[in-house]
C-alpha cells in the first residue's frame, strides 16, 4: 500500500491479511443477498490461468501442523508512468491447509476516489473437480467501515468478492490492476505475512531518466535484477510466517519489507532524509493555523480567569478534549493535510491533525508556540533505522514549547531540545490523559517533529513508573469460620485511570458501574459479595481515579486441623502466563508503558488466634522490572505489602526468560499463605 493517512488506521492496515479478513467478514454479512444471487454465475468460463495452475503441485514452504495456509506466490508489478500516475498489477496465490484458512477467500481491494480498480479476477482450483472463477461483475463496491470507537468520513472504498470453494486442500488466487495518483513518490513492498511464503516478487518500471532508492527492513537485502529499459525485479523466497504472540511488537515493526522511493528528474515528492519529510509536511500545514477573531476571542474567553501560563494551556487543552469531537475526515490529500483551524473551530469536530492544528493556533494566541509531531500509535513501528517513510505514521500530536517559568510536578511528558528548549508532548485526541502526561504507547516512541526548518526524528520521553499504576489498600477482618470482610481503596493514576474511565465512559446505569470491580474480584476470589461500592473523580482526568468498595468473602480462609490457612494476596493478579507456551518465544515483550502497582493489606486475626507460620519475603530485581513482597504480624494484625514495578516498556528477547522467571515468582507469592493457630486460651475452650 502506498496511501496511508494520519488518524485512519484502516487504510494502512488493510494490507495485512488478518485485518483484511476481519473487514471482509463484516462486508460479507452486509452483502449476503448480493452474493447469493451471483454465486451461480461464478462458474461461467471457470478455467484458472496458467500461472495459477503452475503452482498447484509446487513444494510448499516450510510450515507446521497448525498452519492454516501457505502463500505460494505473490507478484507486485509497479509501473510509474509519471509523477501523477502509477499502474499496478497484483497476483497472489494461497493453498489452504486448515479450516482457519478459508477466510482468505474474502478478497478486498481498497481504493480512493482518485484511483481506479481497472480489473479484478479471482479463482479457486479444487483438489478435485472444475475450477471456479469470479470477476469484476461479481464484486460489490463498499465503503470502508469507521475506525472502532470513532467516526470516519472517508473516500476510501473497496471492491469485495467472495471466492467460491475456498476450502481445505484447494488453491485460491487472484489478480487485479490499479491505477493510482500518488501523493508521495514512495512505495512499500510488504512481503512477510502471518503465513509462510514460498516466493514473492516485486518489479519496478520507471520512466526514462528516473532513478530509485530502496531500503530493506527486517530482512536481508535482495539483489535487484535488471529486466528491461529502466526496469528491475526483486525476489525473496522461503519467508517464514509471523506468528502471533501475546504482547509482541507491532506487526509493522517486525515484518520484512522494502521501502522504495521513485526519484524523478529535478526531484519532488520524495524524501532524502527526515528533514525533507518535515519540509513536505510543513508546506502542507502552511497557513492552516491562521485564525479569525472568533478563535482568538474564544481562546481569550477560555483563559480569562487563568492566572498562569500553565493554567491557560490547561484551559485550552480541556476545551480541545471536551468540546472538539473526534471525527476522521480522510478525503484525498485530507489523509495528510489538516483542515484550517477556523473550519475545525466552526464545526467543532476534526481528526487528530485537525485538533492539533486548532490547539496550536489557540496556544499561539495566548503566546505559546507549538509544533506538529507525526507519530505511530504503536511503539516500535518507527525506528531510527528506517528510511523517511510517510507510511510509518498514523497519528499526529503536539509538541508545546514550554515557557521557562513553568515548573510544575504535573508536567512530566517533557524533553529538552537543543534549539527549541523544553518541549511538552500532548495528544489532544486523547480525551482521558491530561495536559502534562502522555499515555504509555506514545512514551519512548519515535515521532517526527515538524518545524519551519524541516523534520527531525526524535524519541519522546519515557515517564517514571510512578505515573501509571494501581495503589490498593485494604483493612479487613477474618472471622473464626474463615469469612473475610472489610474495605478496599483503589487509587489509579495514568493509563490505569484512563482505562477505568474508558470502561465507564458510556455506562448509564448505577448497577453497571461496579462491573470493573466485579471483574477484578471474580479473578481473585472464589466467592464474594459486594456490600458497598463508590467511585471518585470519574470526569476529573487531572485527578487520580478512585474506587471504594466493601465485601464479604465466605470461606476465604481454609480451616484444617484446627488451623486457619490464609492467602495473603487477597485481590489482584500481577502474574501472567503469557510466556508459558510450548513454543520458544520469537519476539520481544512489549508492555503498554512503565507502571507501578502496589498492595497494602491489613487483616485482623480472629480473637484468640496467633501466628503459626508466615510466608518468606520476596525480593527480585531484573533491571527492567522488580517485585517485592513481605508479610508481617504485629499484635493481632497481619500486614501484606507488595510492589511490582515495570521500569522498561520493552523487554528484549535476551531477557524474556528473566521475565518468565519473574512471573513464576509472582505467581508463587500470590499463592503464599499465613498459618494461624488457636492460642492457649482458645485451645482450652
Query: Would you say 158 and 144 are in contact if contact means Cβ atoms under 8 Å apart?
Result: yes
Fold of 9-263: Immunoglobulin-like (2.60.40)
Supply the pLDDT for residue 6: 63
Which helix or strand (DSSP H or E) is residue 117 part of?
A: strand 116-125
In the three-class reduction of DSSP (H, G, I as helix; E, B as strand; rest coil), residue 477 is classed as strand
Supply the pLDDT for residue 670: 97
Each domain of the chain, given as residue ranges in start order, spans: 9-263, 274-462, 466-684
Query: What would the DSSP string read from start to end of 245-279?
Result: -TTPPPHHHHS-EEEEEEE-TT--S--SSHHHHHH
Identify the CA nearest to 299 among candidates 279, 322, 319: 319
Supply the pLDDT for residue 431: 95
Indicate whether this model's pTM tops 0.85: yes
How far, in Å, are 245, 297, 439, 499 from residue 294 at the CA level? 51, 5, 32, 35
pLDDT tens digits for range 529-538: 999 999 999 9
The CATH classification of domain 274-462, taken from the options 3.10.620.30, 3.10.105.10, 3.30.70.100, 3.40.50.300: 3.10.620.30
Supply the pLDDT for residue 31: 44
How far, in Å, are 50, 119, 174, 401 from residue 130 at the CA level? 15, 23, 17, 67
460 grid coordinates: 519522546
How far, in Å, are 22, 67, 70 from residue 168 at the CA level? 20, 12, 12
For residue 235, the cross-strand partners are 201
199 grid coordinates: 516466493
Question: Pseudo-torsion of CA 455, 459, 460, 464, nearest 10°?
Answer: -170
pLDDT tens digits for range 628-669: 999 999 999 999 999 999 999 999 999 999 999 999 999 999
Query: Would you say 9 and 377 are in contact if contact means Cβ atoms under 8 Å apart?
Result: yes
Query: Would you say 250 and 242 are in contact if contact means Cβ atoms under 8 Å apart?
Result: no
When the pLDDT of each residue in the chain is averaged and rounded to a whole number, the result is 90
Q: How wide is the angle at C-alpha 63 spanned by C-alphas 77 and 659, nearest 5°?
A: 105
Q: Give me the residue label for grid cell 516450510.
A: 62
Supply the pLDDT for residue 7: 63
Query: Would you say 409 and 563 are in contact if contact means Cβ atoms under 8 Å apart?
Result: no
Q: What are the per-10-residue average pLDDT scores of the chain (685 residues)?
A: 48 38 40 37 68 96 95 98 95 97 93 87 94 92 60 70 95 96 91 96 97 95 95 97 94 94 87 94 95 95 96 97 84 75 94 96 97 96 91 94 91 96 97 97 97 96 97 97 97 97 89 91 94 95 97 95 95 95 94 97 96 97 98 97 97 97 98 91 50
Supply the pLDDT for residue 509: 86
Phi/psi of residue 33, nearest 5 degrees: -65, -40
- Is domain 466-684 in CATH 2.60.40.640, yes or no? no
Which helix or strand (DSSP H or E) is residue 512 part of?
A: helix 510-513
pLDDT tens digits for range 307-358: 999 999 999 999 999 999 988 666 555 578 899 999 999 999 999 999 999 9
Amino acid at each position: 500500500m502506498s496511501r496511508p493517512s494520519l488518524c485512519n488506521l484502516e487504510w494502512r492496515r488493510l494490507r495485512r491479511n488478518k485485518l483484511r479478513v476481519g473487514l471482509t467478514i463484516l462486508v460479507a454479512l452486509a452483502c449476503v443477498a448480493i452474493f447469493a444471487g451471483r454465486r451461480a454465475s461464478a462458474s461461467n468460463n471457470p478455467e484458472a490461468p496458467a500461472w495459477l495452475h503452475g503452482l498447484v503441485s509446487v513444494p510448499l514452504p516450510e510450515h507446521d501442523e497448525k498452519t492454516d495456509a501457505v502463500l505460494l506466490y505473490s507478484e507486485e508489478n509497479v509501473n510509474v508512468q509519471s509523477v501523477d500516475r502509477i499502474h499496478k498489477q497484483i497476483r497472489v496465490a494461497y493453498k489452504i491447509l486448515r479450516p482457519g484458512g478459508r477466510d482468505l477467500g474474502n478478497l478486498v481491494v481498497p481504493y480512493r476516489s482518485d484511483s481506479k480498480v481497472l480489473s479484478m479476477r479471482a479463482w479457486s482450483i479444487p483438489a478435485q473437480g472444475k475450477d471456479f472463477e469470479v470477476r469484476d461483475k461479481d464484486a460489490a463496491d463498499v465503503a470502508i467501515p469507521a475506525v472502532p470507537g470513532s467516526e470516519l468520513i472517508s473516500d476510501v472504498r473497496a471492491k469485495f468478492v467472495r471466492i467460491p470453494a475456498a476450502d481445505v486442500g484447494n488453491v485460491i488466487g487472484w489478480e487485479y490492476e490499479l491505477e493510482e495518483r500518488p501523493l508521495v513518490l514512495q512505495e512499500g513492498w510488504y512481503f512477510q505475512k502471518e503465513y509462510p511464503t514460498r516466493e514473492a516478487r516485486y518489479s519496478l518500471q520507471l520512466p526514462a531518466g528516473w532513478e530509485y532508492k530502496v531500503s530493506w527492513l527486517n530482512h536481508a537485502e535482495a539483489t535487484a535484477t535488471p529486466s528491461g529499459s529502466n526496469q528491475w525485479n526483486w525476489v525473496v523466497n522461503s519467508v517464514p510466517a509471523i506468528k502471533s504472540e501475546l504482547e509482541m511488537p507491532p506487526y509493522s515493526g517486525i515484518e520484512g519489507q522494502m521501502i522504495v522511493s521513485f526519484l524523478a528528474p529535478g526531484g519532488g515528492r520524495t524524501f532524502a532524509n527526515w528533514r525533507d519529510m518535515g519540509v513536505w509536511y510543513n508546506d502542507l500545514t502552511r497557513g492552516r493555523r491562521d485564525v479569525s477573531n472568533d478563535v482568538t476571542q474564544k481562546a481569550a474567553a477560555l483563559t480569562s480567569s487563568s492566572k498562569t501560563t500553565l493554567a491557560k494551556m490547561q484551559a485550552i487543552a480541556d476545551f480541545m478534549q471536551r468540546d472538539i469531537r473526534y471525527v476522521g475526515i480522510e478525503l484525498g490529500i485530507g489523509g495528510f493535510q489538516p483542515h484550517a483551524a477556523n473550519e475545525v473551530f466552526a464545526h467543532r469536530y476534526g481528526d487528530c491533525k485537525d485538533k492539533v492544528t486548532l490547539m496550536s493556533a489557540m496556544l499561539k494566541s495566548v503566546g505559546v508556540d507549538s509544533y506538529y509531531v507525526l507519530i505511530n500509535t504503536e511503539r516500535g513501528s518507527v525506528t531510527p533505522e528506517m528510511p523517511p517513510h510517510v507510511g510509518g505514521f498514523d497519528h499526529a500530536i503536539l509538541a508545546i514549547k514550554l515557557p521557562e517559568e513553568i515548573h510544575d510536578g504535573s508536567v512530566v511528558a517533557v524533553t529538552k531540545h537543543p534549539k527549541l528548549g523544553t518541549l511538552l508532548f500532548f495528544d489532544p485526541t486523547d480525551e482521558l490523559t491530561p495536559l502534562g502526561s502522555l499515555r504509555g504507547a506514545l512514551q519512548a516512541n519515535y515521532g517526527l517533529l515538524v518545524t519551519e526548518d524541516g523534520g527531525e526524528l526524535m524519541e519522546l520521553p519515557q515517564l517514571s513508573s510512578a505515573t501509571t499504576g494501581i495503589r490498593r489498600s485494604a483493612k479487613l477482618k477474618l472471622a473464626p469460620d474463615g469469612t473475610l470482610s472489610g474495605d478496599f481503596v483503589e487509587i489509579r493514576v495514568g493509563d490505569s485511570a484512563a482505562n477505568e474511565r474508558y470502561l465507564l465512559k458510556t455506562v448509564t446505569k448505577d448497577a453497571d458501574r461496579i462491573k470493573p470491580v466485579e471483574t477484578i474480584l471474580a479473578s481473585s476470589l472464589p466467592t464474594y459479595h459486594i456490600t458497598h461500592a463508590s467511585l471518585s473523580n470519574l470526569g476529573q482526568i487531572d485527578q487520580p481515579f478512585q474506587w471504594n468498595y466493601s465485601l464479604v468473602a465466605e470461606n476465604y480462609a481454609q480451616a484444617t486441623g484446627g488451623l486457619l490457612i490464609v492467602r495473603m494476596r487477597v485481590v489482584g493478579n500481577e502474574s501472567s502466563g503469557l510466556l508459558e507456551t510450548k513454543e520458544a518465544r520469537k519476539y520481544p515483550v512489549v508492555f503498554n508503558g512503565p507502571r507501578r502497582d502496589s498492595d497494602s493489606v491489613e487483616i485482623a486475626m480472629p480473637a484468640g488466634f496467633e501466628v503459626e507460620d508466615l510466608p518468606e519475603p520476596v525480593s527480585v530485581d531484573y533491571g527492567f522490572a522488580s517485585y517485592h513482597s513481605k508479610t508481617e504480624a504485629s499484635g493481632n494484625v497481619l500486614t501484606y505489602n507488595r510492589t511490582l514495578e515495570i521500569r522498561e516498556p520493552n523487554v528484549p528477547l535476551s531477557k524474556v526468560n528473566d521475565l518468565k522467571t519473574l512471573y513464576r515468582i509472582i505467581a508463587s507469592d500470590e499463592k503464599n499463605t499465613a498459618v494461624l493457630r488457636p492460642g492457649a486460651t482458645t485451645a482450652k475452650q
